[in-house]
Structure 1
Amino acid sequence: MLRRTFALGAGALLTLPGCTGASPLIAPDAPVDSDDAFIVELQERTFRWFWEQTPNDTGLTPDRWPTPSFCSIAAVGFALTSWGIGVERGWVTRAQALERTLNTLRFFRNARQGDAASGVIGHRGFFYHFLDARAGTRFERTELSSIDTTLLLGGMLFAGAYFDGDSADEREVRLLADEIYARVEWTWMRPRAPLVSMGWHPENGGAFIAYDWDQYNEAALLYVLALGSPTHALPDRAWEAWTARFERQWGVHWGQEHLHFPPTLAAHYSPTWIDFRGIQDAYMRGKGIDYFENNRRAAYAQQAYAIANPGGFRDYGARIFGLTACDGPGDFVLEVDGRRREFFSYSARGPGDRDDGTLSPWAVGGSIPFAPEITIPALKEIRNRYGEGVYTRYGFLDSFNPTLTDTSVRLQHGRIVPNVGWVDGDYLGIDQGPIVCMIENWRSGLIWNVMRRSPHIRRGLERAGFTGGWLAG
């Protein structure tokens, strides 16, 4: 059986069986150093975005900045996770991180829930996708979101496992994290059981969104937490029902045989909190790999797509790639270099899927643990080639598009920067999060190691049928 061994950072090595994907397309110029000065700086700059833009008293991290915005509960989950990173890296003290964490958990614990259309933070334990930045109540007509609640819970459960001291405040963090998690009624959010709905709206007596989490995507953590719930757990067959739909996404995509989801976010959100190295469910046992290896192949497929560049976009190549959900210039059609181009505003982009030439550094940064040998050189190339046009106070701006250089176009986001092209004007919390968190998972394994101690994560993985690796310990 073929085996592939590759570095994970911090001196760790992982060997996986059954790796049948293509060989790396671009070998690293030199060994990748987990203490590389650029990576350290990028991680701290990104952390500072969360620390400086999140209110200390409520923890309501904004969806984006500097454009004024509502709070994103998923961004709060990444912020809560970032506080532990800041402590370990010496950027903030443990007391400072503990204060912010407690304030956030108390706010979400005590905020009003109910089926009203306004004035509440959530319903049946779930939280609304976006919250008013000041009041912390539902923003306009946003949905009660199952996936964004999941990402928020990821941060809360990390906090509960990280703050393991005997002080009254650290004990309260653990109690609040467990209480908020236990309130979530997963069994209610499944009108088409056993799959989980994407969300619910309270209008007109209440109605579930007509779509479920029914394909390979970012929902792994959702199903793990729903299966691991001590109070409202899904039945065992829920994970099997989800993975039973994966086969239509399996195949050779851009030279890599893997489970394919065009935007890279599937490789970033759940793996922020779950260490998939060496553990397998029934689906991946049948493929002879694990989800970590699948994510490595997805990173190489992104690079291969950029090298092939079937759309003929500017600057795509071995060190300029990264397609995922991100901001874009706007929704319009324009002729560029004699070709009709359709551009999009915020959209989920992927190889051959709504590709309009817009690239996002977070698509690359979130994949650092899986393929540091290609992602770190790519991030350096983006910074070196485009400079302060894309890399500023808090690291990389959300996205850029070298193909769009027409200054006469009316843009929905961002601006045209000379010698770069279109560049977004904002940082997005759900895109900053995977950069700071996945860099840390590569450098030290902090989040993965902490989350291994969570009984809820272990219980959910075991009920989903995962075995081997660290679960066997």
Structure 2
Amino acid sequence: MKIKSKNPSIPVFALSLLFFWACSKPNADQPSPVIAKGYARHVELQWPKQAGISSYEIWVSTEKNNFARRATVEDTLYMDFVNDLGKNLTLQYKVVGIDGTGGSSDLGVTQATTREFSDEELINMVEFYTFRYFYQGAEPNSGMAPERIHIDGEYPQNDQLVVTTGGTGFGIFGLLAGIERNWISRQEGANHFEKMVNFLETADRFHGVWPHWLYGDTGKVKPFSPNDNGGDLVESAFLMQGLLAVREFYKNGSEQEKAIAVKIDQLWKEMEWDWYTQGGKDALYWHWSPDKEWQMNFALEGYNECLITYVLAASSPTHTIPTSAYHKGWARSGGINTDVEAFGYQLKLKHNGSEAMGGPLFWSHYSYLGLNPKGLKDRYADYWEENRNHTLINRAWCIENEGGHKGYGEDLWGLTASYSVKGYAAHRPDEDLGVISPTAALSSMPYTPEESLKVLKNLYYNYGEKVFGRYGFYDAMSPEADFYPKRYLAIDQGPIVAMIENHRTALGWKLFMGAPEIQDGLEKLGFER
């Protein structure tokens, strides 16, 4: 078994200990450099990388000195799922380094216990692991979220350095949760955001709008497609949704934090939302680039994931858009409305291309990490009811399981865009490939807390090692296809941590909705809240 990934960051309290042990040979008088933490059904082990060692053997004992080998890995982190050993365990672990000649050396022995977790502890565990994608897994130069992290293979187009603007915006809410929950210190959080904001100041922008992808080492655009090599208004809206929450979080903080807030405010004011109306048309347009100009010509017309783009554009203090763009463009002069019912749940908005049963579930997530749908209404919809019904229809489709897909049921549902057996697909009721995306149910926790928790428990307790890794649940799975790729996408991990925290404390909603411009923009567009 080989695990290839970035070495994770290590907690501050363990840094000096691990550095010392990386430079010295353990003896009986020194503590083990192997750190182990037990959870409900797994133990996570970490140790410092050893010079001259090519792989590591993991040994476990349920009785003193009676060790059995569990795995051989190349990484310095191993997650041992112990369902085969039992529950409520006390385990001894030792890690043995293997050099290029086959010689071995013991790193040390440590102990861990597993125990039954409460529901809240399980939710906390999943949120913490997912948070790590955006902190430990961040691209080191920019502090931004990598587009993807592959544990099980090569990266397409060698894009290890490619960061995502929208996915970073989602992950920002997780970073803020990490500060609030003391997973990182307030100083560590400020340092991280300072790095990120400084990078965004100098990275490629197009009339104040960032592209979909950037190279994290240079800040230069990486084209998303041949004609999409400039500003991406929607991904930049997702990014600014998160950044405004950071501004609100820091605006009354330390000098460093206030400086971060001021820089974010300037970036916000430099975004030319009005430019992206193509000179005053009654709609926003997704893309513009210096050489392709408006060739993509993709008007933002609802309903899909893009509501937040119009809210931000209407809220801009410097480059606002007229309300007509929202009502004539996004709402199609009222054509956005429908009146359909599926499984006893009504939808009031035409979900583009999926009118009968709603689009992929990310449409109920991306715009609502900061924009609070509770009580949010306008002339077109009650957005809490729309999102909850959208989720319940998606769930009911999986439970009915007309296609007979293996594993589907009350504890395994959720169709949205993710990796798939066919590469990448926007899974939804009318495009159901038998692939469940964990982000679908987990990011819906504010709408369906009990129903989403059933999926979380099933994934962790029954699929464990196949679907849960160092950054939380992997992106997709399919029992019938024996499809369990060990891969992550930022745009799927971010909503998990953001929406779980909104379910628990409404942190993201409170911060974003607390921005005075957002309140003004919502009023301008005719929202009740």
Give the one of 399, 417, 440 matched to 2:501: 440
8 A Cα contact 1:56 1:103, kept in partner: no
Give the one of 440, 449, 454 matched to 1:363: 440
Q: CA deviation at 1:257?
A: 0.4
Given residue 235 of structure 1, which amino acid in structure 2 is its aligned partner? P
- Does residue 72 (structure 1) correspond to residue 155 (structure 2)? The answer is no
Specify the alignment match of 1:340 in structure 2. none
Greater RCO, CA 8 A, separation 6+:
1
How well do the aligned residues superpose, as a CA RMSD in angstroms? 1.9
Give the one of 136, 146, 152 matched to 1:52: 136
8 A Cα contact 1:366 1:439, kept in partner: yes
- Does residue 349 (structure 1) correspond to residue 438 (structure 2)? The answer is no
Give the one of 378, 390, 405 matched to 2:455: 378
Specify the alignment match of 1:41 in structure 2. 125
Cα distance in structure 2, aligned partners of 1:422 and 1:246: 40
Instruction: Encode CA deviations 1:302-346: one digit per residue, 9 max, x unaligned.
Output: 11101221222222222211111111123xxxxxxxxxxxxxx21
8 A Cα contact 2:438 2:473, kept in partner: yes
- Does residue 137 (structure 1) correspond to residue 220 (structure 2)? The answer is yes
Cα distance in structure 1, aligned partners of 2:253 and 2:368: 29
Specify the alignment match of 2:273 in structure 1. 186
Cα distance in structure 2, aligned partners of 1:250 and 1:397: 36
Q: CA deviation at 1:254?
A: 3.3
Q: TM-score, normalised by structure 1?
A: 0.79
Q: CA deviation at 1:34?
A: 9.6
Q: CA deviation at 1:247?
A: 4.0
Q: CA deviation at 1:77?
A: 1.1
SS at match of 1:189: helix
- Does residue 397 (structure 1) correspond to residue 471 (structure 2)? The answer is no
Q: How does 1:238-257 map to 2 (within 5 A)?
A: 238-241=325-328, 242-243=330-331, 244=333, 247=336, 249-257=338-346
- Does residue 62 (structure 1) correspond to residue 146 (structure 2)? The answer is yes
Specify the alignment match of 1:465 in structure 2. 526
SS at match of 2:274: coil
Instruction: Encode CA deviations 1:170-228: one digit per residue, 9 max, x unaligned.
Output: 22122111111111111111238211112123335x23422211121111110000000
8 A Cα contact 2:163 2:215, kept in partner: yes
- Judged with a 3 Å threshold, the aligned counterparts in structure 2 of structure 1 residues 176 and 146 are, in CA distance, closer, same or farther, namely same
Q: How does 1:276-425 map to 2 (within 5 A)?
A: 276-284=373-381, 290-330=382-422, 345-352=423-430, 354-404=431-481, 421-425=482-486
Q: CA deviation at 1:385?
A: 2.5
SS at match of 1:251: strand
Q: TM-score, normalised by structure 2?
A: 0.71
8 A Cα contact 2:171 2:495, kept in partner: no
Unmatched 5+ residue regions in structure 1? 1-32, 112-120, 285-289, 331-344, 405-420
Cα distance in structure 1, aligned partners of 2:338 and 2:435: 24
Q: CA deviation at 1:100?
A: 0.9
- Judged with a 3 Å threshold, the aligned counterparts in structure 2 of structure 1 residues 34 and 194 are, in CA distance, closer, same or farther, namely farther
SS at match of 1:75: helix
Given residue 428 of structure 1, which amino acid in structure 2 is its aligned partner? L
Aligned pair count reads 390
Give the one of 356, 362, 375 matched to 1:265: 362
Specify the alignment match of 2:84 in structure 1. none
Cα distance in structure 1, aligned partners of 2:438 and 2:392: 15
Cα distance in structure 2, aligned partners of 1:321 and 1:235: 40
Q: CA deviation at 1:386?
A: 1.5
- Judged with a 3 Å threshold, the aligned counterparts in structure 2 of structure 1 residues 163 and 250 are, in CA distance, closer, same or farther, namely farther
8 A Cα contact 2:247 2:260, kept in partner: yes
Instruction: Encode CA deviations 1:256-292: one digit per residue, 9 max, x unaligned.
Output: 10134310111101110111211311112xxxxx211
Q: CA deviation at 1:361?
A: 0.3
Q: How does 1:72-221 map to 2 (within 5 A)?
A: 72-111=164-203, 121-140=204-223, 141=226, 142-143=228-229, 144-191=231-278, 193-204=281-292, 206-221=293-308
Cα distance in structure 1, aligned partners of 2:446 and 2:404: 29
SS at match of 2:275: coil
SS at match of 1:71: strand
- Judged with a 3 Å threshold, the aligned counterparts in structure 2 of structure 1 residues 77 and 247 are, in CA distance, closer, same or farther, namely closer
Specify the alignment match of 2:64 in structure 1. none
SS at match of 2:340: strand
Given residue 96 of structure 1, which amino acid in structure 2 is its aligned partner? E
